[in-house]
Amino acid sequence: MGGSVLTFWAISGILLAASVMLRLVAGRAVRGAALPPLPVHFRLWRSLVASAVCLICLGGAFSDLGASYRVLNPPAANGCRAVVREFSFLFAGSGDVYTVKFGGIGLRASSWTTDDGYEPVARGSYTLDWDENTGVLNLLGGIDPVWPGIHVIPCS
């Protein structure tokens, strides 16, 4: 696994763009054939689903504005990695740590909040230790506290 993170909303947007392109290609391929028109309720349903998918992609993109992702070192003995998402806005901060196993899908293992928009991983105020295939992320607060400070990362 590399050192970069592809977010959920980006993957959703890529899949949405691919489905639109396939729809356009399929529409042109059957345009010459004599097909009955689609019922109104089917076209309405298709429009609602497309709108919902677009709103989910946009919502995910806006929720990630200002968030930063970091792949932490070292990896576990079995190759499992810890990925951190940190976000701060005004005087509040938060973070999530994800377990990323083989295949690259991240599962949230733990979360925290901070004071004054503090991002401990971005500032290098953390330690990550692995005991076999279980990690312990210790976030050091300093002046700005982190709640909770210790996070277990299961990776079995």
**89 is written with which tokens?**
């806005």
For residues 156 and 153, what is the distance between their CA atoms, to the nearest angstrom?
10
Residue spans per domain, the chain: 8-63, 69-154
Alpha helices in the chain (DSSP H): 8-29, 40-63
- The model's confidence at residue 1, banded by pLDDT at 50, 70 and 90, is very low
pLDDT tens for 16-51 read: 788 777 777 766 656 656 666 767 777 788 788 878
> Residue 119: pLDDT above 80?
yes
- The model's confidence at residue 130, banded by pLDDT at 50, 70 and 90, is very high
For residues 16 and 119, what is the distance between their CA atoms, to the nearest angstrom?
32
- The owner of tokens 């993109």 is 61
- Do residues 64 and 51 make contact, with C-beta atoms less than 8 angstroms apart? no
- 111 strand-pairing partners: 96
